Structure 1
Amino acid sequence: MDLSYAAEDEAFRAEIRDWLATHLRGDWARLKGVGGPGRDEEAFEERLAWNRLLAEHGWTCVGWPVEHGGRGLSLWQQVIFHEEYARAEAPYPVNHLGETLLGPTLIAFGTPEQQQRFLPGIRAVTELWAQGYSEPDAGSDLANVKTRAVLDDDTWVIDGQKVWTSNAHLSQWVFVLARTEPGSQRHHGLSFLLVPLDQPGVEVRPIEQLTGGSEFNEVFFTGARTAADLVVGEPGNGWGVAMGLLGLERGVSTVAQTVGYARELAGVVDLARRTGALDDAVLRDRLASLSVELEVIRAQALRGLSTLEGGSDSAAGGGAGSIFKLVWAGWHKRLGEVAMEVAGPAGLLARGESGYELDEWQRLYLFSRSDTIYGGSDEVQKNILAERVLGLPREPKGT
């Protein structure tokens, strides 16, 4: 695979780099490095304003087709955009779920009316979205969804509970996987619904995390309603839509993670140099291994992207999305462990007036423990690769 960039791609790199250098200054410069997984509540209103500035200049939804309000960038130009955005330490987007997941899902599976209703608000960052997939008994085992929706004339009536719903307390809408065919089991009889959060019958309860934030939520639906035509795809066929969305979850924007990871690794190396931990040959070897592994992960991610199309399910491209999820999650978890070794005894102590203010390495260690769970656990990714890519026998189910 040729990982080099054409002249027009490098010209585009200069364009986005210059724009970020021009605009990410003054008051905006204070937002550098703000936000991200485990820190989504940081400076939320300021990041929202920044994202709307991006939208005004056409820098949101850059990979969407032009006819849907995007720039129609090529795959490599999308990679360039996200990498340069990460290198500039621009603030983490506030509508990641809308822009990179729901928007492309509506483009792939939605009706023209749904596209016209929702895509402009996502692009302009005026409507924010949350993801209503996981439940207390249906996390990585998503086919075990129990939330129900019943059609009442021209309205779906929804009852059930979702959990680990990122940013539901900051969003106006949530896309919900619900069981709409009574008596159906597993992946049959599910529908993909678009549901407003600001209504009677919806209760959002933030969950405090080990890192001190509360970006995750429980969401309770008790007779909540949404219009009958706000089902994406055919009623009862929501599993295919949901799987297409999860394929998008490990798309172009995730490649930019490796830029942030490289910055974190450099920070850990610098900390090891300052503490003297770098003199330990074993630790030095582990840091070197992490550096080499990260380069391999990036190359593997780019290779995998070239085999995927929008709306592909998790087995597409030889399971490229699952492979990428496995390798980056394990790598990041190991980086957090090494960071704690480098920090030494000081890494065990929380500080601040509250008695629980974490530094960046403590937060890295604690949040990275969840990397191998959220977005599809390691066990589920391995089952996808074993059963759907390699054709091995299905894992026995308990009775």
Structure 2
Amino acid sequence: MGQDPHSDTTAAIVAGCIVAFVGFGFAATFGVFLRPMSLDLGWGREVFALSMAIQALCWGVTQPLAGMVADRQGTARVLAFGAVVSALGFFLRGAVIDPAVFIASGVVVGVGTGACSFPVVIVALGKVVDARRRSFVLGLGTAAASTGMFVAAPLSSLLMSLIGWQSAILVIAASFLLILPVLVFIARVSRPTAQDGAGDGFARAVRTAFGDRSYVLLFFGFFVCGFHVAFIQTHLPAYIADHQLAPVIGAWSLAIIGLFNIAGSFLSGWAGQRHSKKNALAGIYFSRAVVIAAFVLIPLSPASVYVFSAFMGLLWLSTVPLTTGLVAQTQGLRFLSTLAGLVFFSHQTGAFVGAWLGGRIYDATGDYQGMWWAAIGLALLATLLHLPIRETPGQLAQAET
């Protein structure tokens, strides 16, 4: 008897959600280690922040390269490589106590998470479902990543309290190997969409996409999302503890962001199927500006932290299914992994700036106020960038039909 294609697709979607859950959760909430590690080791916060920034940038550089390999050879091999390298990177962070090694580990973790992170997974899933279901499946994969974030933040805090931060990091390293067994299900449905000898085609596709104003606006708009996400997930727990609130509140703030992002991801996936994706994105960025401004202006308390985290969670990665969906809608599917990866590189460039600059400004001034106001200004800029985007198929998408 032959295999049921529908059953294979369902199994691949479940497996993809598991990969997104494991591959994103601990990497996204590693900021809970910033303050305890810096205090215990006598490091300035820029050491930790620089490692996280390099991780984000290398993730961004790896993402389009991983996308090219996935377009040519399928996704499962890329994810397996990423899982093993991520495990190695986190092992180095826990096993070798040296600031230079810790900073350099950002390269290893960045390459690994760039190859096994949820953007690689959701693009692969987006290719094997029809266009009507694509936004929903992209939202589902993003929600799975957010669930990982919800679980990982308090679990990391618990592990630190039970076995110390060093052993906790080693547990994180081992968790990435859980990705390997489920890749068989993704391998069954993940097929190459570009020929092995399509080097000229890749270059032409990239040139064509960057000649499309809508793609360029998505590229620069996603920089802002990365700036927000990396700054907040790296520095929010420390910012909260700096104001004499319990450190566990910082861990739960990231967990709440992850929890509410599950709803935000589903809502954005649903909205992308029924309404204008560019208007939804503009609304998300404007809402971020309002929420961050309120958080900065209202006196800090556990209640204000949790309310801020809930609202930011709704807006957190809700940009991903809409942005990826717009890339698919305007540029087509043939080179989607590559072109979505390049847009994600912009996101991770913003993440580099957000993570590193937060540590640099804190060490120089003793607070994060300048970073919060920069986040507000960039959110308003991103709102304006998304309004002129065209939602009809561009040259690449038209060529496919």
TM (normalized to structure 2)?
0.30
Task: Give the structure with higher Rg (CA).
Answer: 1
Q: Select the structure with the greater relative contact order (CA < 8 A; seq sep ≥ 6).
A: 2
Larger helix proportion of the pair: 2
Larger strand proportion of the pair: 1
TM (normalized to structure 1)?
0.30
